Structure 1
Amino acid sequence: MAKPPAKPISIYVPKLTFTLDQGPQFGPRIGRLCLTQRSDRPSNHTIDIPTPNFLIGTSRGVVPHLSRDHVHSANAISWINVPFESFLEHTPPVPTQQTGSQPLHDFLGFDSSKHIVSLSLRDPLDAQEMPPNGNTHISALCMRGVKKVTLADWRSYVLTMQPDIAFALSDTPFTAVPHSQKRITKSIERSTAWLADLLRPFGNSTEDSPLESTPTHPLNVFVHMAGGASISARKSFSHNLTENLHGLEADAVNPLRCLDDGVAGYAFDLATLRMKPVPISVGEDRGRSIEIANNSSIPQDLVSLAEMPTPNTTRIPTSFSSSMNDLPSLSLSPTLGELLRVSLNSLPIAKPRLITDVRSPHEILRLVRDVGIDVYDAGWVVKAADVGVALDFIFPIPSAHVGLDLRKRDIGHNLYDSKYAGDFTSVTDAFLAGRDRTPSSISPICPCIACSPVTSGYPIHHSKTDVQSHQTHLDDGVGREPLLPPFTRSYLHHLLHTHEMSAHTFLVAHNVAVLDALFTGVRTIISGHADQNEAAAFFAREVTRFEDAYDEALSVLHTARDNWNDVKQARGKGRLARESGKTEGK
């Protein structure tokens, strides 16, 4: 029996634009990321995100600990990333069965007028060791183990789900570092070819035949900047993006002049750069050994090392790989800033730059200062909430806060600590609770649901009689959503020790609000100086003041993680009774 023809579908991906308002190629800069719906759509609207800013990741399409209502009410959340690998346990994946003009938004329940939703295959924060990728597939991790996703699969998923932003596949080695020059070369070649495959116009191949549109490039594609910790490999990948294409290579992505013409932005994943290398010795031919340190904060050199076995690669077009034929020797231990600047040096300045797996506000500020990254992931603030830490820092630091304490402050409060059991103050010191606002207040307000909770003020009506009886109260303004007293540290301490899920909901909402305030402060400082050099110098001084005031070792997070583990063990099956008995016996 002949298979019925597929139902024609159309792509309605909004147009993504980035405007750089102020800033050098490398250094503090501000801009605006705008997602505009097509004019022929019923809901014509624009999502405008000032940069620097952040995105937040999801687990199976859910922002950790937050309900849909929480996400919709959090004005700070504008960009949400969805790793698609978590849906691959079924074939076809369940989200691909969603119909409508915006399947991804509709399936996950996000507001298309407020939220940019991007789609990546892998979770950029997951750097656990994985089976090697092949020439035409990438290894993804789902609930049922590792699954191979082909280029055609990913192209089909992106076409079906129609995300606002799609991340191209990248051949990132998820195996123990260091990697050989041969493996890095293969990674560059595959990543380039896989980007070219996603940039092929929809409608000019057999798998795209259901499309009713003519060949176009409707997608907003972000590319992972490949190259690992190799300076030359990163230069080569950037060269592949900007090199003019000819012949069959040009025809495949027509009308693009080069691959970079179809790229909307650049992404950097730090998780793999932080993988701890295997200590080995190199340079023995020089009469001495150079020990590669086991330091997760400094990427290691990957050249002149024993080659790892890799499968034979398919032929990559000459223009995609010619620059990898003569890689020179590299210096050992390039810094993170050097790696990022090398990748961006030959690329257009007016495209957004995204980075994942940042670990602290200190690192964010340095990346703004030294590189000019525009978007950062918020995974670290969610992890802080996981272990019971309520963030409490402010940037720029007010003059009144300087000199009050000789030791560096923690960036937050470990609410598992027993000292908070009787602390009835609000969660944060750096911000005021919404109810404490006064006309003379100079401190910023934390708008989160923990510090500034609100009530709708509207009674629940069960009948027409209830409506009539409450009408006078509504006319008096009862429904103006009055502010309630903030939740206290002692209350959250209690929730954490009783394993109440609402504790982490409060903490994620609060931490996201503090992170949003950090970026607001960054943008305010940069925009406050018309001269770029003056803005950069002033911003650098404020970063130094922040580093001097707050503990970058993040000791509060390490202590909180230990306390969280102790409570988790104490609340385990049969353990609670034993722990209670020990306490009573003391």
Structure 2
Amino acid sequence: MTSPLKFQIKQTPTKASGAGESARCGTFALSQAVSKETDQQHVKRTIETPGCLMYSQKGAVPHLTPDNLRQQSFGGVNVSLEQILQTDQPGSFSKWPETSPIPQFNGCKFTLSEYLRLQDLITFCDLRDYSFAAETFRHPTTPPAKKLASNTDYHTVLSTPKGIRQLTLDDYLKTVRHYRPDVVVALADTIAETTTPNEKRIRKSVERSLKWLDQILLERNGKDGTIADRRVEEEKRRRRERKEKKRNAAAAAKATGERQEQEQEQEQEKVQGENKKEEEIYIEPIPTEPWTDVGLFVAVGGAHLEESRIWSAQESSKKEGVDGFVIDTLSLSALDKDSRLKLVQTSLDHLPTDKPKLLYGLHAPEDVLDAVAMGIDLFDTSYPFQLTEDGKASLYYYGPRPAGQDKSNNDTLRSINLWDDVHGDKFVPILEGCGCYACKDSKHTRAYINHLLKTHEMLATVLLMGHNMYQYSQFFTLVRESIQEGTLQEKSSQFRATFGKEPVRTLEKHPNQITVEAALQKRNQRLEGAEEGVVGVIGMGSGVPVPSLGAAIGVEDIEMEDGNKSNKKRHESEKNGEDGGSKDEVVEKKVKKAAESSSPL
């Protein structure tokens, strides 16, 4: 079967052969035939490798508006199935339109790209959000992951926004057929435990994933991939029927006293049952259509056991119809980075070199450099997102200092935290010479973003995310150039010497962030209480105590910068206005007036 994906490895100069060991540059794209068949109005972007898929939450890249998203140079989006799969799906897929309801796209297939308005980007659909599964990658505002129930031979367990649910192979196949992403990762029994799993659990995981892969490949080639599962279910059903029949017959024989005759019948049925086991149960195949426009990646597992990782890699490589591989690091979260890289290399040694490999879990620039040297082609943008969530802005660079960058910046700082008060009076760009929207032409200064963060303005994270994504894309561009020039090893060593190791990410927030979020939470709670009190007074007539308006909006203990000072002055003028009296009296008068005007009498 012809692959809908096109992965080409560029020839590396001879002088670069020893610089990055297995490092290579290439292009990852959809074939032109598939692109035209799915959407004639949009041409999918090409991903330059080593490169990135944009990390998303529920199909949307965090903090980026659609226009800012299109300014990014990344060519694809990573979509987590457990975040976007609705509770009534796949049951409600009967309402999923076959063609796009948008007039200008009339006649084109209605795919996941259409649904998410990502028609010009490659949609890479994986089962889980692996990037933030490990505790050190989780944001402080995100609660710890719930312990999921164990997977079985018939389903895997997902943690969705609506709670825990089971996803069977049949549900997975129906979802892929209706969503039609550009690339999908095969259903796999992934190990998500934070502790080191035992050998039995690891072998079962690899065995189960390979079984599901065989069934998915049958479906992809237009055959019935679930026929084996239905045959097993039919065997179980017949076995239950035989047992039920025996129980009913025994009960009837006991009631009539025909014990001897019943024993003879049971003996005959036992012989017949043994003969039936020898006969193969015939199941009618369900006709299907082959997947001509969906690429298939395979999750290569094995956890910390080298022999299991080799087994998974070798068996996955033998399958025809596999377009690429996802290297497992989720089950290695209990190990240190060097041990994880060693096990990743074990998997890579037994995978074909002509197919792309994607790696989750290693995001920091120096970790990316290690993985690129090993032959990894694709990553995701979890790292810029993590920085943005923490209020940090990237300052790192790869190779020589970029032209136009201010030399007064501390060369050893890879990022700055704009929650810090020290940036409150710095009217300079985040990074001199940066070409992102936030820094270009000195539009937005550090002091301005510091102010936006402290006033909880959405624009703060929009600007930070755009800047961090731009710096990450520039980093990958320069890495690709160094591979072509044969200077990857030299520049990587220079980067490590300049910026050192990425600081360990903790779950602690910045003190200013804690103060702002606590004040906002307190204000919101009081406003909700005030609204409930007003509604109660109007509905019941009188007699319901009303919270203080000052307490409701938190004027006494919340005084934000600049904008909120005018609110405080306005509140004080209302307090001393024509109504007179204390704040509580003013509120009670207004509430009683509203209640009288709404009374039916």
Q: Of 109, 122, 135, which aligns to 2:117? A: 109
Q: How does 1:99-178 map to 2 (within 5 A)?
A: 99-100=98-99, 101-110=109-118, 112=119, 114-127=120-133, 128=145, 129-178=147-196
Q: Partner letter of residue 156 of structure 1?
A: K
Residue 199 of structure 1: aligned partner: 217
Please tell me whether residue 449 in structure 1 is matched to residue 437 in structure 2: yes
Q: How does 1:30-49 map to 2 (within 5 A)?
A: 30-38=25-33, 41=37, 42-43=40-41, 45=43, 47-49=45-47
Please tell me whether residue 27 in structure 1 is matched to residue 66 in structure 2: no
1:44–1:360 CA distance, 2 compared to 1 (3 A) = closer
What SS does the corresponding residue of 2:28 show, helix, strand or coil? strand
Residue 80 of structure 2: aligned partner: 83
Residue 548 of structure 1: aligned partner: 497
Residue 494 of structure 1: aligned partner: 451
1:17, distance to aligned residue in structure 2 (A): 1.2
Residue 297 of structure 2: aligned partner: 222
2:329 & 2:7 partners in 1: Cα distance?
A: 23
2:149 & 2:175 partners in 1: Cα distance?
A: 22
Q: Partner letter of residue 181 of structure 1?
A: E
Q: How does 1:282-321 map to 2 (within 5 A)?
A: 296-298=335-337
What SS does the corresponding residue of 1:80 show, helix, strand or coil? strand
Please tell me whether residue 51 in structure 1 is matched to residue 49 in structure 2: yes
What SS does the corresponding residue of 2:46 show, helix, strand or coil? strand
User: Does the 8 Å CA contact 2:392/2:415 hold for their aligned counterparts?
Assistant: yes
1:225 & 1:79 partners in 2: Cα distance?
A: 21
Residue 356 of structure 2: aligned partner: 352
Residue 284 of structure 1: aligned partner: none
1:410 & 1:577 partners in 2: Cα distance?
A: 39
1:526, distance to aligned residue in structure 2 (A): 1.1
1:347–1:548 CA distance, 2 compared to 1 (3 A) = same
2:380 & 2:503 partners in 1: Cα distance?
A: 18
Q: Which runs of 5+ in 1 are unaligned?
A: 1-10, 243-257, 277-295, 299-333, 433-444, 453-483, 529-534
1:43 & 1:574 partners in 2: Cα distance?
A: 48
1:571, distance to aligned residue in structure 2 (A): 3.3
Q: RMSD over aligned Cα, in angstroms?
A: 3.3
Residue 248 of structure 2: aligned partner: none
User: Does the 8 Å CA contact 1:56/1:81 hold for their aligned counterparts?
Assistant: yes
Q: Partner letter of residue 129 of structure 2?
A: D
Q: How does 1:161-560 map to 2 (within 5 A)?
A: 161-202=179-220, 203-205=222-224, 213=289, 215=290, 218-242=293-317, 258-259=318-319, 261-274=320-333, 276=334, 296-298=335-337, 335-369=339-373, 371-398=374-401, 409-429=412-432, 432=433, 445-446=434-435, 448-452=436-440, 485-528=442-485, 535=486, 538-554=487-503
User: Does the 8 Å CA contact 1:137/1:148 hold for their aligned counterparts?
Assistant: yes
What SS does the corresponding residue of 2:362 show, helix, strand or coil? coil
2:431 & 2:505 partners in 1: Cα distance?
A: 15
1:175, distance to aligned residue in structure 2 (A): 2.6
User: Does the 8 Å CA contact 1:421/1:490 hold for their aligned counterparts?
Assistant: yes
User: Does the 8 Å CA contact 2:303/2:332 hold for their aligned counterparts?
Assistant: yes
1:554, distance to aligned residue in structure 2 (A): 2.5
2:444 & 2:402 partners in 1: Cα distance?
A: 28
Residue 69 of structure 2: aligned partner: 71
1:159, distance to aligned residue in structure 2 (A): 1.0
1:582–1:389 CA distance, 2 compared to 1 (3 A) = closer
1:399–1:377 CA distance, 2 compared to 1 (3 A) = closer
2:417 & 2:513 partners in 1: Cα distance?
A: 10
User: Does the 8 Å CA contact 2:419/2:453 hold for their aligned counterparts?
Assistant: yes
Q: Partner letter of residue 303 of structure 2?
A: G
**Per-residue displacement from partner, 1:23-64 (whole Å, max 9, x unpaired)?**
569532111112123276345845322111111121111111
**Per-residue displacement from partner, 1:143-168 (whole Å, max 9, x unpaired)?**
22110000111111011111000011
**Per-residue displacement from partner, 1:204-228 (whole Å, max 9, x unpaired)?**
3398999785x46653111111011
1:368–1:144 CA distance, 2 compared to 1 (3 A) = same
1:401, distance to aligned residue in structure 2 (A): 11
1:139 & 1:559 partners in 2: Cα distance?
A: 30
1:123, distance to aligned residue in structure 2 (A): 1.2
1:102, distance to aligned residue in structure 2 (A): 3.9
**Per-residue displacement from partner, 1:377-414 (whole Å, max 9, x unpaired)?**
11121011011111111111339999x89987221110
Q: Partner letter of residue 85 of structure 1?
A: E
1:383 & 1:178 partners in 2: Cα distance?
A: 26
2:196 & 2:209 partners in 1: Cα distance?
A: 19
1:522, distance to aligned residue in structure 2 (A): 0.4
User: Does the 8 Å CA contact 1:268/1:356 hold for their aligned counterparts?
Assistant: yes
Q: Partner letter of residue 84 of structure 1?
A: L
1:199, distance to aligned residue in structure 2 (A): 1.1
User: Does the 8 Å CA contact 1:104/1:161 hold for their aligned counterparts?
Assistant: yes
1:560–1:542 CA distance, 2 compared to 1 (3 A) = farther
Q: Which runs of 5+ in 2 are unaligned?
A: 100-108, 134-144, 228-284, 525-553, 566-601
2:151 & 2:226 partners in 1: Cα distance?
A: 23
**Per-residue displacement from partner, 1:386-443 (whole Å, max 9, x unpaired)?**
11111111111339999x89987221110000011011101114xx1xxxxxxxxxxx
**Per-residue displacement from partner, 1:220-271 (whole Å, max 9, x unpaired)?**
11111101111111011112124xxxxxxxxxxxxxxx41x21111112434
User: Does the 8 Å CA contact 1:124/1:269 hold for their aligned counterparts?
Assistant: no
What SS does the corresponding residue of 1:350 show, helix, strand or coil? coil
1:182 & 1:161 partners in 2: Cα distance?
A: 35
User: Does the 8 Å CA contact 2:224/2:288 hold for their aligned counterparts?
Assistant: no
Residue 330 of structure 1: aligned partner: none
- Identity of paired residues, percent? 26
User: Does the 8 Å CA contact 2:223/2:287 hold for their aligned counterparts?
Assistant: no
2:214 & 2:58 partners in 1: Cα distance?
A: 28
1:121–1:221 CA distance, 2 compared to 1 (3 A) = same
1:135 & 1:395 partners in 2: Cα distance?
A: 47
Query: Is the radius of gyration larger for structure 1 or structure 2?
Result: 2
Residue 96 of structure 2: aligned partner: 97
1:377–1:581 CA distance, 2 compared to 1 (3 A) = closer
1:516, distance to aligned residue in structure 2 (A): 0.3
Residue 281 of structure 2: aligned partner: none
2:184 & 2:339 partners in 1: Cα distance?
A: 29
1:563, distance to aligned residue in structure 2 (A): 4.4
Q: Partner letter of residue 123 of structure 1?
A: D
2:294 & 2:24 partners in 1: Cα distance?
A: 26
Which stretch of structure 1 is more off in the superposition, 47-56 or 392-401?
392-401
Residue 468 of structure 1: aligned partner: none
